[in-house]
Chain A
């Protein structure tokens, strides 16, 4: 069958296929009578309509078309489906509000939907009294500072107020002014959340320095606006979680970090070992650390010099040697040694490493461990000849590695269009190395998800080209 030359021809093919999922894929490019026919195909059987209303890949236009359904089971699924577009959510809310059987659970679903419009969220915040719905609005990332402020202003002393304060203190849209209000009225958890908030004002940071709560100090210690004096003081805090936060603070002075590199707590030293501003002194101290995780994190750190990586590459713990093999700056010399490591998990890291040269990959392809072969298959330095060999591997993970390989050419990928694993065929639909004529047969694949992805790919192509 030939590639269709226009959107209408593609829609016609989807209709002839008689498959609701193929119909859903092309619905957005169909118009008039053809669109109605597609909807008939998709929605005439209740089980198909229910399945599409719930499916996470159902396109927004299909969910919008389903929005007029009177079947409550479908409405619940539309309210829950994160792809349901804003307009449909608004319509569902209005219909629900006007219904005599007003259902609180449906309002909650609308209140927590990521596509709920500001108008709907404002309406719920202002007029609904159901606690679950109001709390859902306070957690919804689509709410803005105005809606959040409106919610708080409705309650002065109510059991819901405390819960709202907590949700709003962590909401990314909460304004600095609202955070100040919350800090003044909230408990220690609210205060800590406010101090950790990206919109927290300098005034509150300065005020929080006087607080004694560990929770607040922990949030404060990670703030980049702190003075060196405060950071130094917090680095001596008796609670390790506060010292950890200091160790993660990018503005912490070098002498503080040097001191934390020998901290009593493993957890603190692990954070230090990942920093990009370590001094030679700290690196020397950390490379001999008794904690495996500290040495592993140091081994992954790209600022670590060759001599340290060479020592860590001989560590008794395989996880540390693997860390060296995964280090973005690991030398080819070390990779050659690690490619012969007794532990397959270390060799696998070499196989995935972008600095591993072709010849080493040629050697590694003889390995028997699936994880090593998957790494070779993924590596863009692997010669095409080897990639072609790996496309017939019995292991799906290895074949998938070839599909994910950015350097795999069209000729290498072509046999994988017939792969037994449906997910591999589905992944190839979006592959830019393959031509449309290579992918066309996937529209008639035995798996409905592959058919959907292929029809959708061609529908999007027509949208892009405007034909």
Chain B
């Protein structure tokens, strides 16, 4: 039994930042990298299955990205993942979520997992489509925004609860293998133990090229993506007013504004 967990190293913005000269992204000097928050929950869900079952479960994490991504993969290994794979080629730069899904599907074909977990979305790009596009390329069933999972290794189906608008939950039975995109709060992600961190430092990370998974530069990159970033910018500031005056005056103005909104 094998679970493939797709993870991403995301970029968090510092308080003050500068946009790159080509206006397509933030200057890298202002970015702080970390494992995508949703992926922490995906990995934990896989680890729970690994630790609960009587069947032997292998948890493999995979990420698409340059060398710096190893740091996030090691974090996953430190938390208990068995293996880590990193796919990179300079031609992948600028790929959209659909092209990344193509790469992950190619990895899945090679690894032949029984389940694939991914985060609902990445905190930096928020397309929420990488997991879904992976399922589409594999022609596998998928369930998005999974807030609860009941699955026994080896079963032909799993029951998931999907989080919908307005606090609704939708219970879905899904055939396996499947791709599930995992929602925040489904579990309580663990911290890596110091021992785990030390062990992870010695574990190898498998570096995979496009050729290793039967793809080439013509399958990925900006030119072969269905969407591309035209520009990134900070929009003009909206309507906001600082309430000035003494504390009592600020409180009075605030009450006045609230009453105006309420039509009092």
Give residues in A with beta carbon < 8 Å to B: 46-47, 50-51, 54, 73, 76-77, 80, 163, 166, 169-170, 189-190, 192-193, 215, 396, 418, 420-422, 445-446
A438 nearest CB across to chain B (Å): 14
Alpha-carbon distance between A420 and B198 when the two chains are bound, in angstroms: 12
The answer, among A77, A418, A445, for a CB contact under 8 Å with B16, is A77
Q: Are B245 and A189 in contact (CB under 8 A)?
A: yes
Q: Which residues of A contact B244 (CB under 8 A)?
A: 163, 166
Of the residues B16, B190, B191, B246, contact of A166 by C-beta under 8 Å: B246
Chain A residues with CB below 8 A from B247, complex form:
170, 193
Does any Cβ of A come within 8 Å of B193's Cβ? yes
Bitwise, B6-47 to A at CB < 8 A (1) or not (0) is 000000001110100000000011111000000000000000
Q: Which residues of A contact B252 (CB under 8 A)?
A: 189
Residues of B within 8 A of A (CB): 14-16, 18, 28-32, 190-197, 244-249, 252
Are B191 and A189 in touch, CB under 8 angstroms? no
Q: Could you say which of B29, B197, B245, B249 contacts A50, with CB atoms under 8 Å apart? A: B29
- Judge whether B248 and A193 touch: CB under 8 Å: yes
Residue of A nearest to B198 (CB): A446
Residue in A closest to B18 when the chains form the complex, CB atoms: A73
Q: Are A420 and B248 in contact (CB under 8 A)?
A: no
* Nearest 5 interchain pairs by C-beta: A420-B191, A189-B249, A47-B29, A193-B246, A189-B246
Contact assessment for A166 and B30 in the assembled complex, using a CB-CB cutoff below 8 Å:
no
The smallest beta-carbon distance between B15 and chain A, in angstroms, is: 7
Question: Besides the contacts A193-B247, A445-B194, what 12 more A-B pairs have beta carbons closer than 8 Å?
Answer: A46-B29, A51-B32, A54-B14, A73-B16, A76-B16, A80-B16, A163-B245, A189-B248, A193-B248, A418-B194, A420-B193, A421-B191
* Cα distance A47–B28 in the bound complex, in angstroms: 8
- The interface residues of chain B, by DSSP majority, are classed as mixed
A422-B191 in contact given A50-B29, A73-B18 (Cβ < 8 Å): yes
Task: Show 10 residue pairs from A and B whose CB-CB distance is below 8 angstroms, ordered by the A residue.
Answer: A47-B30, A51-B32, A54-B14, A54-B16, A73-B16, A73-B30, A80-B15, A193-B246, A396-B191, A420-B194
Contact status A190-B246, CB under 8 Å: yes
The smallest beta-carbon distance between B150 and chain A, in angstroms, is: 22
Give chain A residues whose Cβ lies under 8 Å from the Cβ of B29: 46-47, 50
Q: Which of A46, A47, A166 is within 8 Å of B245, CB to CB? A: A166
Number of A-B contacts (CB under 8 A): 56
- Report the minimal beta-carbon distance from B25 to chain A, rounded to whole angstroms: 15
In whole Å, how far is A50's beta carbon from the nearest beta carbon of chain B? Answer: 6
Residues in B neighbouring A189, C-beta threshold 8 A:
245-246, 248-249, 252
Residues of B contacting A190 with CB < 8 Å?
A: 246
Residues of B within 8 A of A193 (CB): 246-248
> What's the nearest-Cβ distance from chain B to residue A136, in Å?
12
Docked Cα-Cα span, A54 to B245, in Å, equals 30
Compute how far the CA of A396 lies from the CA of B191 in the bound complex, rounded to whole angstroms.
10
Report A-chain residues with C-beta under 8 Å of the C-beta of B30. Answer: 47, 50, 73
Residue of B nearest to A194 (CB): B246
CA–CA, A422 and B197, complex, Å: 12
Q: How far is the CA of A54 from the CA of B197 in the complex (A)?
A: 28
Whole-angstrom distance between the alpha carbons of A264 and B238 in the complex? Answer: 44
How many Å lie between the Cα of A54 and that of B16 in the bound state?
9
Decide if B14 touches A420 in the complex (CB within 8 Å): no
Assembled-state Cα–Cα distance A418/B196 (Å): 11
Most B-side CB within 10 Å, residue of A73, A190, A446: A446
Least CB distance from B33 to A in Å reads 10
Residues of B within 8 A of A163 (CB): 244-245
Q: A420-B190, A420-B192, A446-B194 are in contact. Are A169 and B246 (CB under 8 A)?
A: yes
A46 to B32, CA, bound (A): 13
Q: Are the CB atoms of A215 and B248 closer together than 8 Å?
A: yes
Chain B residues near A169 (CB, 8 Å)?
246
A310 nearest CB across to chain B (Å): 40
Chain B residues, CB < 8 A from A192: 246, 248
The CA-CA distance from A192 to B245 in the complex, in Å, is: 12
* Closest chain B CB from A7 CB (angstroms): 28
Partner of B246, one of A46, A170, A418, A422: A170
Q: How far is the CA of A170 from the CA of B247 in the complex (A)?
A: 8
Residue of B nearest to A170 (CB): B246
Q: How far, in Å, is A81 (CB) from chain B's closest CB? A: 11
- A54-B28 Cα distance, complex, nearest whole Å: 16
Residues of A within 8 A of B245 (CB): 163, 166, 189
- Cα distance A163–B242 when bound, in Å? 12
Chain B residues with CB under 8 A of A420: 190-194, 196
Residue of B nearest to A417 (CB): B194
- Complex contacts, B15 vs chain A, CB 8 Å: 54, 80
Interface centre among B31, B191, B192, B245 (most CB of A within 10 A): B245
- Chain B residue with Cβ nearest A446: B197
A170 partner residues in chain B, CB cutoff 8 A: 246-247
Distance in angstroms from A447 CB to nearest chain B CB is: 9
- Shortest CB-to-CB span from B208 to chain A, Å, is 26
Q: Which residues does chain A contribute within 8 Å of B191, judged by CB atoms?
A: 396, 420-422
B246 touches A50 (CB 8 A): no
In the assembled complex, the CB of B222 is this many whole angstroms from the nearest CB of chain A, namely 25
Contacts of A47 in B (CB 8 A): 28-31
The residue on A at minimum CB distance from B200 is A446
- Which residues on A sit within 8 Å (CB–CB) of B31? 47
In whole angstroms, what is the CA distance A166 to B15 when docked?
A: 30
Most central of A396, A420, A422, A445 by chain B CB within 10 Å: A420
Q: Whole-angstrom distance from the CB of A424 to the nearest CB of chain B?
A: 9
Residue of B nearest to A196 (CB): B248
* Chain B residues, CB < 8 A from A396: 191
A170 to B18, CA, bound (A): 37
- Residues of chain B with a CB closer than 8 A to A215's CB: 248
The distance in angstroms between the C-alpha atoms of A445 and B198, with both chains bound, is: 10
Select the residue from A163, A189, A445 with max chain B CB neighbours within 10 A: A189
The interface residues of chain B lying within 8 Å CB-to-CB of A422 are 191
Nearest chain B CB to A381 CB, angstrom units? 29
What CA separation (Å) do A189 and B196 show in the bound complex?
A: 60
User: Which of B193, B194, B246, B247 has most A Cβ within 10 Å?
Assistant: B246
Give min CB distance, B116 to chain A, whole Å: 27
In the assembled complex, the Cα of A192 lies from the Cα of B251 at a distance in Å of 13
A446 CA to B199 CA in the complex, in Å?
Answer: 12
CB distance from A397 to the nearest CB of B (A): 12
